[in-house]
Chain A
Amino acid sequence: MLVSYKWLNDYLPVTEDPIKLADQISRTGIETEEVFLREKGMKKIVVGHVLESVPHPNSDHLHICQVDVGDTEPYQIVCGAPNVAAGQYVIVALPGSWIAGHTKIKKSKMRGEVSMGMICALQEIGFPEAVVPKAYANGIYVFNEPHTPGESVFPLLGMDDPVLNLDITPNRADTLGMHGSAWEIGAMLNEKPHFKEPHAVENGDEITTLLKAAVPDQADAPSYHLRLVQNVQVKESPQWLQVRLWNAGIRPINNIVDITNYVMLEYGQPLHAFDYDKLARKEIVVRHARQGEQLTTLDGNDHDLVPDDIVITDGETPIALAGVMGGLSTEVTEGTHTVVFEAAVFPPTPIRKTAQRYNLRSEASSRFEKGTNHADVLPALTHAAQLAEEIADAKTAKGILSPTAMQVLPVIVDISIDRINHVLGTQLSVDMVRDIFDRLGFDVQEADGLFTVSVPPRRWDISIEADLIEEVARLYGYDNLPSNLPEATTTVAKFTPIQQLIRYSKRTLLAAGLNQAISYALVNEHEVTQYIQTNSVPTRIDWPMTKDHVALRQSLIPGLMDDLAYNIAHSVKNVALFEQGRVFLKDDAATVRPNEVEYLAGLVSGDWQSRAWDTATQPADFYLVKGMVDELLAPLRLSAAVRYVATDRHPEMHPGRTADIFLGDALLGFVGEVHPAQTAAIHAADTFIFQLNLDLLLNAAKTPLQAVPAPKYPAVTRDIALQLPEDVTNAQVLAIIHDQAGAFLEDVQLFDVYKGDKLPAGTQSLAYTLTFRNPEDTLKEEQVNAAFKQVSDALVSDLHAEIR
């Protein structure tokens, strides 16, 4: 809502500096985004009277004008506008003036003719295209009244009027009119606004002899009123009215349309004007549209109506979308002689839906959606008629057609001083609070600290105690509120087990060298089925905005792969990321709400360690990320064994370099190399990923920590090097060692793996250090030898190992 400072002063004296006023409004009521002064940065722009205009001899479109600008002699100004003519009062930027866009105007020569300045279009002095009257859109602006040549144009065009841009929240639609804004600002300044009672002379015919009106279902228009004005002269509005409109961001069109807009700005009550002569039947009926009905709206667009739309009809055919936009067929034009003004209350929801359906959000529809002052419907209608009498030479028909009407009463809300102070933490006195209600213009009775507040219909946002508390708080001033911390019983704050596990995982992976990523949870149709570890049905959103974000992720890896692709595209080749977040899994399509499962995933691509003065480049590999998984899992003291089982079931993963991770028999996640086809597509180097289900880890059995003393007796180590068929795995060897080495085996470390020329084809060499210890006694050589032999024999017989 654009609030003109001058207009405001019609209702109450406002003398504050506009910037300070804006700040004050922001702090007590409505956020004021900016204060706008159109003349800012411009100077020496005056009224000029065109005395003569002749075609330029060396041009097919320029005119040489002699213009009286209040100086002793007329100025010669060359003008290119097609509409320039002698006799006009125009806007002249004198030599040395500044116009919009920091442009300085100088005396110049145009095709050999001296030009002492410039005759301006409104756009050239800072008016946005959207408010410039159509007649002057492609030429200079011409005043429709004479003015003194040389007089500054700024006051005449309202350019010296500061305009406050109020950002109005949906609950304060009462300030979407100047009256409401004046009440709000008046309460703040402790000034009561005064409004003139509208009055129409009504020297026309009886309206009932000219028009009938009906609202068969009162719900469609609970309050519906029509006035008719005759003998209308449709023309340009007087300057003052045009100024008020364009300073409010609305383009002047003609006096009748301008009246409807002006009254809307005044009362916040949208109006509509129909050309009476264009009504096929002299009748107005409000009803729902019928299937198959059509309407061409004022903007020239055709709409196929649906029964949810409320329409205004001429008794048969729709002529307007109620509260949204009028129809082209009954548009007020230059030839219009008789006008029907409509002022009504329409139900918010259908108006909003209709406006959305046809993409026709308008000043009117947005006001109906948020509510209007029901007490102002009739005054607004009468003021429109009065203005038509004043500026369109109209005669108002006698009477008003009101097929529906509402009884408009104040709302009574009770509240105690104690309640107010209890909620605000203040110690306000009864008098202070009474004064605030009085400033708001609310009638109030008080007894023993209990207020009975009568809230006028113009503040339909107020209906309960809390609403009144807000009024008191904001006018008392939030700056004046005391500032405490809650006095409350001590409460325990601690992380839940899953919150702890999530934080532990993050800390661990950060320490392991991965950077935390947060990717988009909405992924594309392709990604949603990629890198998933368990079967699930995707959860899709109903009406996606883009193809990139259509369904909720079922795996964190596609997000990390997107991040990788983004990095590669920006020349970051070595990437180490992890993400913790939810995936959304459903067992079947019938389920609507997915399970939200906490996952953890990591990705390392390219070089893990770049070449340095003492180190060679170390590309990422499978065992790096596997090590991270091990590092993460070990401190959790999981009771069940963690197993890595080679798998080729993931189509996006390298079939020979991927393992599913099991905890006992439960699938915990997977780890491996991304399929080269995937990485090639984004020009990434070899990429390794893992993903784990944290919820599963949370719920897994854990072995409680139980202290043991540091060992007192020495350990004995034995190395064993094995030549094995190359398909034998480390896990198989370890299983045999653990199975055969007896109770004193403390640890097994693989310290060498070799495959190559020095071994017979089809074989590999694995070498282990076995550590034995008896916690109760010093181990004897024979005990170790016996255990070691048992291990060796089993390896030879079960795995065809050759001990080297």
Chain B
Amino acid sequence: MALQDELTKIQTDTLAQIAAVQDLSGLNDIRVQVLGKKGALTGVLRGMKDLTPEERPKVGSFANTVRDALTAAIEDRHAALAAAALQAKLAKETIDVTLPGRPIHRGTEHVLDQVMDEVEQLFMGMGYQVVDGPEVETEHYNFEMLNVPKDHPARDMQDTFYITPDVLLRSQTSPVQARTLEKHDFSKGPLKMISPGRVYRRDTDDATHSHQFHQVEGLVIDKHITMADLKGTLEVLAKHIFGADRKIRLRPSYFPFTEPSVEIDVSWGQTAGSDDVTSKDNGWVEVLGAGMVHPNVLKSAGVDADVYGGFAFGLGPDRFAMLKYGIEDIRNFYLNDQRFLTQFEQED
């Protein structure tokens, strides 16, 4: 048989074997048997030395074609078998993707802190400094400096825990106002502050009263602060905490340290712009107290009340959280039932 016929036969036979082989090791065997150093093709090519110089290039060229064809066929077959093998492997690796993921422990911030953070964030964005003050206060700062002299009937409004006749647990965060006013250097610019913190009152704990709760005090003093500024600021606050569709209204009230004094209601249970008021609260819920700082408070702190003035407000994070999330018992905040705490897991 001529060399060319042999080569053709090798090609035909080998292609048939390649097509038939079902695994990668079998394919490798074929490659070694045919294309390897001791393989069939190599063996045939050894016969080249007996060819005439004219025949040699032709046969050589033909041999290369066969080699290339077989190599290509082996590579294709290899790729196909490898893909099938991978497919089979992956099929075996299939898992139940509905099994639960491994939990990563993450705690939940207390809902009161969440509310206070929200308030802080808003006011810091408007350039208010966050100021802390002592929880054990003096009568001087808790009352006197805030225009509540001894025997003032307003002291009845907030029954206070005393340590001595002059020292008490602060019943409000307002003393921080007085302390900050006293220290502030107005030649360096206006005073804009908020003061979040814990306060105490002689209340018997029940669903709506707690002997311990929280307040955030706010104060802005400059030369041109108006009641319209107070209204605008509290509107921003109400929308930030309770939703962009909220409206506020101011109602006259009384606090010894502000004049005029107002209570702020936020629209509730009614859609913005609608006059259809159906809720039992007439569509409004009281959320905070505020007013223009009483001149006596400024004077007590050594601030010239003819030149400087401004507004103050005080809000209750406990009340805010109760309203915002529909919490019915204030004691929940301080008993720390883990099931209560963790329900407030949310993006911050």
- A residues near B (Cβ < 8 Å) are 23, 26-31, 169-172, 348-349, 352, 369-370, 422-426, 464-467, 469-470, 473-474, 478-479, 481-496, 498-499, 506, 509-522, 539-545, 549, 552, 563, 566-567, 570, 572, 575-578, 581-582, 584, 592-594, 596, 608-609, 612-615
Contact = CB atoms under 8 A, between A and B. Distances in A.
A592 B157 CA distance: 25
Given A484-B226, A499-B130, A515 B232 contact: no
Interface of B: 99-100, 102-110, 112-113, 123-130, 132, 134-136, 138, 151, 153-154, 156-157, 161-164, 166-167, 169, 189-190, 192, 198, 200, 202, 204, 211-212, 220, 222, 224-229, 231-233, 235-236, 249-254, 259-263, 282, 292, 294-295, 309-310, 333-339, 341-342
A174 to B, nearest CB: 12
Contacts of B341: 515-517, 577
A631 to B, nearest CB: 12
B228 A425 contact: yes
Nearest to A426: B228
- Interface hub of A28, A581, A592, A615 (most chain B Cβ within 10 A): A592
19 contacts: A349-B151, A352-B153, A369-B156, A422-B226, A425-B226, A425-B227, A470-B259, A479-B249, A486-B220, A488-B189, A490-B127, A498-B132, A510-B106, A513-B105, A518-B333, A539-B163, A542-B161, A566-B335, A572-B339
Contact of A542 (B151, B164, B211): B164
A592 B211 contact: no
A481 B100 contact: no
Given A469-B292, A510-B109, A513-B105, A543 B162 contact: yes
A28 B231 contact: no
B151 A518 contact: no
Contacts of A584: 135-136
A30 B254 CA distance: 10
A481 B135 contact: no
B207 to A, nearest CB: 16
B190 A516 contact: no
A572 B334 CA distance: 16
Contact of B105 (A473, A481, A512): A512
B295 A522 contact: no
Given A483-B231, A493-B127, 19 more contacts: A27-B251, A30-B252, A370-B153, A466-B292, A481-B228, A486-B225, A493-B125, A496-B132, A513-B106, A516-B109, A517-B110, A518-B336, A539-B136, A567-B336, A576-B107, A577-B338, A592-B164, A593-B163, A612-B103
Given A348-B153, A572-B339, A592-B163, A470 B189 contact: no
Contacts of A541: 161-163, 169
B211 A549 contact: yes
Contacts of B192: 486, 488, 491, 493
B150 to A, nearest CB: 8
B108 A31 contact: no
A510 B345 CA distance: 11
B294 A466 contact: yes
B306 to A, nearest CB: 9
A470 B335 CA distance: 42
Interface of B is mostly: mixed
B250 A481 contact: yes
Contacts of B236: 485
A494 B227 CA distance: 26
A485 B232 contact: yes
Given A510-B106, A512-B107, A567 B337 contact: yes
Contacts of B154: 170
- Interface hub of B110, B124, B135, B338 (most chain A Cβ within 10 A): B338
B212 A520 contact: yes
A591 to B, nearest CB: 10
A557 to B, nearest CB: 13
Contact of A466 (B125, B189, B225, B260): B260
Contacts of B225: 486, 488
Contacts of B190: 486, 488-489, 491
B163 A485 contact: no
Contacts of A516: 107-110, 113, 341
A621 to B, nearest CB: 15
B259 A425 contact: no
Contacts of A513: 104-107
A542 B163 contact: yes
Contact of B198 (A464, A514, A521): A521
Given A28-B252, A486-B225, A545 B202 contact: yes
Contacts of B261: 470
B252 A470 contact: yes
A593 B136 contact: yes
A464 B298 CA distance: 14
Contacts of B129: 491-494
Given A518-B334, A541-B169, A491 B189 contact: yes
Nearest to A477: B250
Contacts of B336: 517-519, 563, 566-567, 577
Contacts of A539: 136, 163
The 9 residue pairs across chains A and B that have the minimum distance between CB atoms: A513-B105, A425-B228, A425-B226, A169-B254, A470-B260, A478-B250, A466-B259, A563-B336, A491-B127
B113 A518 contact: yes
B127 A492 contact: yes
A446 B87 CA distance: 97
A485 B249 CA distance: 16
Contact of A515 (B107, B166, B260): B107
Contact of A23 (B110, B127, B167, B282): B282
B251 A575 contact: no
B322 to A, nearest CB: 14
A252 to B, nearest CB: 29
Given A493-B127, A542-B164, A488 B228 contact: no
A521 B212 contact: yes
A293 B190 CA distance: 59
A483 B157 CA distance: 30
A484 B157 CA distance: 32
Nearest to B258: A466
- Interface hub of A465, A520, A581, A614 (most chain B Cβ within 10 A): A520
A566 to B, nearest CB: 5
B344 to A, nearest CB: 10
Contacts of B157: 170
Contact of B136 (A172, A481, A596): A596
A581 B336 CA distance: 15
- Interface hub of A349, A466, A481, A609 (most chain B Cβ within 10 A): A466
